[in-house]
Structure 1
Amino acid sequence: MTTNGVLLPAPPPARSTGSDFATLRRRVTEAGLLERRPGYYAARISVVAAAFGGAWAAFFLLGDSWWQLVVAVVLGVVFAQVALVAHDLAHRQIFRTRRPSEIVGRIVGNLGIGMSYGWWMDKHTRHHANPNHEDLDPDVSPNILVWSTEQAERSTGLPRFLGRWQAFLFFPLLTLEGFNLHVAGIRALVRPGLKARKLEAALFAAHILGYLAGLFLVLSPGKAVVFLLVHQMVFGLYLGSTFAPNHKGMPTLTEADELDFLRRQVLTSRNVRGGWLVNAALGGLNFQIEHHLFPNMPSPHLRRAQPIVRGYCAELGIPYLESGVIGSYTQALRHLHDVGAPLRAKPARSS
């Protein structure tokens, strides 16, 4: 079986499909790696909260100065770290039950950084269920970029126009991701169906109004606009770069690919090697394979789960991919350039 030119192992016999992951889960559970880590998260949230409060304190103390652009960069990094905490909340890595996860998640996401917690949780849950599936994973929908040669051939409009040189445009486009999160959240909040929509909308509006009021009361209009652009661009670039190495450049799946849960998660994910700095910068998502197999595993346990998962994949003959930071981005960009080849071979047509 091949997908995008990548050879995938044949699916296991029907009787073993359910037992392969069950065996792995039993080993991980016996190692105690699904237990909560309240001390770790108390410390991590305290550090992130202190950075968040300290950056805003510096903003108000510094006043109307171009040195505020340094604060804008720092706040962009801090906002991304807040988003990573919201990610762990959504997966119930911090609290075992839904209610406290949702309460804190909405405060952190909607009020803290202006990201709809409910919208993002729905989108991310669908991604986890079918990673890199061209029809079911919203993260590989051809809305702006194309992720397979099949998508490139079928593309029209903006994706077809950008797809020819999308590898070169990838990081510049990530600077818009912060704005995209806000816009997508607003769209979700104005449509019926979102759980606790009024509460989310109130918290979201409080963030937007407070954010804009702070900028334009402290800074001159010109500085406020530049601060906003720098802050949101750094936020988008950092957050997008955190998630980009994990699946981009890995095989994409279609309805023709019949893989069990274990293989579906492992074959579409990539780990990123690195020490404590990479682990802190990526919020533990550098252990993407382990995270996709056990989404509710606390992030400090992912490193300990890696040798168990990697060894088990070796037993079953399942490819387990791990790359360095630069190598992971190189693979992702090379893939984007390769799948855009059909668009470079023929003139772009209008939709």
Structure 2
Amino acid sequence: MANKLKFATTNRSPFITTLRGRVDAYFTQQNLSPHANEAMWAKALFFLLGYGLIYGLILSNQFGTTALLGLAVLLGVFAACIGFNVSHDALHGAFSARPWVNKLLGSSFYLLGANPYVWKITHNIVHHTFTNIPGHDEDIEVAPGLVRLDPEQPLKPWHRYQHWYTFPLYALASLSWVLRKDYVKFFKDRIGQHDMPTHPREEYVKLFLAKALYYLFFLGLPFALLSLSWWQIMVGFVVMHLAEGLVLGLVFQLAHTVEGTTFPLPNEEGKMTDSWAIHQLCTTANFAPRSALAAFICGGLNRQIEHHLFPKICHIHYPAITAIVKHTAHEFGLPYLENRSFGSALYSHFRLLQKLGRPVPAERRSPIDA
């Protein structure tokens, strides 16, 4: 059971102690808060106001169908960017030192049609603790049975072609989230092998009320205000979520399922070989770390190594601490995985899908790069 799974406590444990000391020293010496600065607030306002503007333009009923379709795509992209740049940091408690600010900004997750309470369990607790561990981290279970991202999953004949059909499936991620995923996760007894808590009564209300309001604002109001037929409204809704889902799916997958990342398993006693911090280095990869555009759009998720090691530090500071993390990892002889560009990470993910679709034995701890 995941609740009993334990990471090694002695294997190179000085690494994380040394790293934390150096990162803390950086913020002290620079007299900086690890939370949001002015640039971060400006970026959050850009995406939130942009999202509101695009939504308002759609409901203004001043555009033709082609322009509305383009605005729907743009709204989906902005929704994903809000998730990356506002919701994600806030739900980790990284945006502000004030809990009420994080809670308020974390509510922006509702703009994606997603539930922040469920996310904090599945992502903050399960994914960040059991990253890439088969049977524990459900983030590597994309369309179970159809897509093989876990070397321990049975190999099926259709997996030979998964490097071609998986990318279109990522576009369905947002629709699944809005219409199915949150409900299923909320009422499951466990996520992976992690027992779900007893949900407060108010979370039941929030789940169904927020979903109802989302359907009202994105289906009901457009139907009432726009000079479009019901099926055109539905097409716009689906297109918006296909754009949102593709952006979300690709960014998250490029961090943990590329060549070089591992899918380690515990021994029979439920113990992992590595300590938690070293486990994160082995299962996580950065992409386009020098790209200002990637950092702006992805909300620091292109620097997943720094995020997994320091999830409570606002992502606006990741460029500054990257050199510290990388140098310390190399000093301790540990891996530091990165793809130089978004394109190279995308191609690496493509090759990994291709390799996992073939009947080649995959070692449990070795990088999938043979």
Q: Which residue of 2 aligns with 1:8?
A: none
AA paired with 1:330? Y
TM-score after normalising by structure 1 = 0.85
AA paired with 2:353? L
CA distance in 2, matches of 1:296, 1:173: 31
CA distance in 2, matches of 1:262, 1:279: 23
Aligned length: 324
**Counterpart secondary structure, 1:341:** coil
Mapping of residues 1-351 of structure 1, within 5 Å? 15=10, 17-32=12-27, 35-63=34-62, 65-66=64-65, 67-84=67-84, 85-106=86-107, 108-110=108-110, 112-125=111-124, 126-141=126-141, 143=144, 144-153=146-155, 160=156, 162-182=158-178, 183-188=180-185, 193-195=198-200, 196-217=203-224, 218=226, 219-249=228-258, 250-256=261-267, 257-273=272-288, 274-323=290-339, 324-342=341-359
TM-superposed CA distance for 1:214, in Å, is 2.1
CA distance in 2, matches of 1:100, 1:278: 26
Ranges in structure 1 where 5+ consecutive residues have no aligned partner: 1-10, 154-159, 344-351
Whether the 8 Å contact between 1:247 and 1:269 is mirrored in structure 2 is: yes
Q: Which residue of 2 aligns with 1:6?
A: none
CA distance in 2, matches of 1:163, 1:97: 47
Ranges in structure 2 where 5+ consecutive residues have no aligned partner: 1-6, 189-196, 361-370
1:23-80 Cα offsets, whole Å, 9 max, x none, are 1001001101762224233212211121011101211224462121011111011110
Whether the 8 Å contact between 1:79 and 1:113 is mirrored in structure 2 is: yes
TM-score after normalising by structure 2 = 0.81
RMSD: 2.3
TM-superposed CA distance for 1:91, in Å, is 0.9
1:94-131 Cα offsets, whole Å, 9 max, x none, are 1235444234323x122x22101111111112111111
Whether the 8 Å contact between 2:134 and 2:152 is mirrored in structure 1 is: no
AA paired with 1:21? I
Taking structure 1 as reference, are residues 279 and 326 closer, same or farther at Cα in structure 2, changes over 3 Å only?
same
- Percent identity, aligned pairs only, is 25
TM-superposed CA distance for 1:22, in Å, is 1.0
CA distance in 1, matches of 2:140, 2:346: 17
CA distance in 2, matches of 1:161, 1:72: 37
**Counterpart secondary structure, 1:135:** coil
Whether the 8 Å contact between 2:91 and 2:103 is mirrored in structure 1 is: yes
